[in-house]
Structure 1
């Protein structure tokens, strides 16, 4: 099975990435690694670091998107470009992987599996924060398959997507990731799209395998105007495209507006309706 892992650098250089450094300790060879510098600010890559990393990886490619591309575009681009690959693994730069990570994926895989996801542990509290089944967090035993009756939610890092799942999305004329989202909402709405496949009577086999740990506090609230705006884009667009019906679309829009109103964020009210009218993130 030909595997490509994509690691997106958004917060640090390659040699500083816990994800990439974890791969140094891997017990199994990886077919291919694609490192994407998504706006870190330089095209300089530590050649000695890449050389040492290459001991555990058959092929390493590096790309630079200094203009900061939407994550949805990056992920879909990899899926569409690497047509000879059977398995796609996606990571951001801040996760710690155990040495048997690849080995466990191989050992627990069977040909009915469409998607593998890990238990995700917060780097500070050491508590499992994903996946969530019907909105409840729980640590799931390795190898367990998630019953389709559950609504599943996790994040992008650690997603292992198989060709079988990509084909199911293609049959429904859907991209795997929603290209209208740039940052927040790309991961959550991937799981909303899985629910859309289920409604079309597609059987999606999801298996939980491995535990990975964030090297930063995953549940820490981020401050700043830019993060506030990004979250508004996520909430408004998610409401527009992933609500049950038009009633719930407008109900969510009113709820978001009211929350801004009682916080005296009057400037956000105009932004909310602008986001809704545009229908996509401005970088998409």
Structure 2
């Protein structure tokens, strides 16, 4: 990521096991760029290939710069997000997975964003999935809001405030699952929940927990969810996290939902770290 003057909008697209030509997020961004009026120097798209093998990037655009970054050892999403925010100077940061489709209206809203936190409504083939509101409080507020991380737009001021309070923007004790939910719990904890603006625009997203997958992928997700829930309970303890974690544990064992492994949960809770943290 070469240093340069500050952009108005920096966009991050994280790829894993995906070619650029097959990425709906990137194709949607390129299409949206044709419908908006931006100066090329004002925006950058960083495509971050997280593995498992190298890819080629021949994309160019008259509307913005496009850079490719590669770390093919499957780094944590929290590390990638924090590194991107630290290394790229911008007024606003838009974070996207490889399976989210945004429209030109939301892209324009992010470009001119003056809010600390801007999030879209996230739609899937099963209907709207994000944001979600819960009556139970986390920390000092009367209700809790959680949202999917893909599509969130953060201002520079919001990132600086979060880093000042926590040392970084996203919690690097979480690798894949829990990165977005703990980010919103952080916002709530520092009293900024009311500063979140929900856009009138929707983005379309593929949600892994709603898809039919093979056995090895299912086992991976159960392990990740177990570590996510245990570390969330340990580091973001509240009435809300106690209730939601307990509900998922009960559902896993009484109703055979297979979301949580008690073995992984207990190891994560008492060790206080993700299983991949030993490799870093």
The TM-score normalised by the length of structure 1 is 0.78
Q: What CA distance in whole angstroms lies between the structure 1 residues aligned with 2:248 and 2:14?
A: 31
| Corresponding position of 2:47 | 35
RMSD of the alignment, in Å?
Answer: 3.0
| Corresponding position of 2:105 | 100
Q: What CA distance in whole angstroms lies between the structure 2 residues aligned with 1:203 and 1:195?
A: 5
Choose which of 8, 16, 19 in structure 1 pairs with 2:14: 8
How far 1:273 sits from its partner (Å)? Answer: 2.3
| Corresponding position of 1:55 | 62
CA deviation string 1:161-214 (max 9, x = no partner): 00111122133243211110000111111111111111xxx5751112221012
| Corresponding position of 1:141 | none
Once the two structures are superposed, the pairs formed by residues 84-99 of structure 1 within 5 Å of their partners are: 84-99=89-104
| Corresponding position of 1:166 | 159
Choose which of 218, 236, 239 in structure 2 pairs with 1:242: 236
CA deviation string 1:97-136 (max 9, x = no partner): 11333223345x33xx2010001111x23x2111112269
- Counterpart of 2:231 in 1: which secondary structure? helix
- Counterpart of 1:117 in 2: which secondary structure? strand
- Counterpart of 1:100 in 2: which secondary structure? helix
| Corresponding position of 2:128 | 128
Once the two structures are superposed, the pairs formed by residues 1-284 of structure 1 within 5 Å of their partners are: 2-26=8-32, 27-28=35-36, 29=38, 31-39=43-51, 41-47=52-58, 50-51=59-60, 54-57=61-64, 59-82=65-88, 84-106=89-111, 109-110=113-114, 113-122=115-124, 124-125=125-126, 127-134=127-134, 150-198=143-191, 205-209=195-199, 210-215=201-206, 219-220=210-211, 224-244=218-238, 268-284=261-277
Structure 1 portions without partners, runs of 5+: 137-147
- Counterpart of 1:2 in 2: which secondary structure? strand
Give the count of matched residue pairs: 254
CA deviation string 1:220-262 (max 9, x = no partner): 36552111111101111111111128xx86x888777666665
Structure 2 portions without partners, runs of 5+: 1-6
Q: What CA distance in whole angstroms lies between the structure 1 residues aligned with 2:94 and 2:14?
A: 11
